[in-house]
Amino acid sequence: MLLEIRPCPSVGRIAGTNCEAGVGNMVGLVLVGILAAVVGGCVCVVWADRGGPRWARVVAQLTVGAGRMLRRYQKQEHRSVGRSSDDGL
């Protein structure tokens, strides 16, 4: 049986591109959003350190807390990878 190729629904099309390009555009948009949140968080950390408004201090605390959690997670992952590779021999 041959593979049936169906056209994308019009909702998935972006300026005449195919569905895969539309999904790629969505991933790119999500990554740009994450990058903007990270940069905004870093700006709030600097601003809060210089006595910025209360909301900037709250965002700065959330940003620093997220960074610490990410660092802790990476350390745990590094330790678990080291253990799993030593267990085999």
Indicate whether 79 belongs to any domain.
yes
What are φ and ψ of residue 52, in 5° steps?
-70, -175
Q: From CA 43, how far away is CA 56, in angstroms rounded?
A: 9
φ and ψ of 80, to 5 deg: -70, -35
Q: Is residue 72 part of a domain?
A: yes
**Domain count of the chain?**
1
- Report if residue 13 sits inside a domain: no
Q: Is residue 31 part of a domain?
A: no
Residue 63 forms part of a structural domain: yes
The parts of the chain modelled with pLDDT lower than 50 are 1, 89
| pLDDT given at position 40 | 96
**Are the CB atoms for 41 and 60 separated by under 8 Å?**
yes
pTM equals 0.60
Give per-residue pLDDT as tens, 61-84: 999 999 999 999 998 888 887 665
Domain residue limits at 74: 54-83
Q: What is the pLDDT of residue 81?
A: 74
- Domain presence at residue 3: no
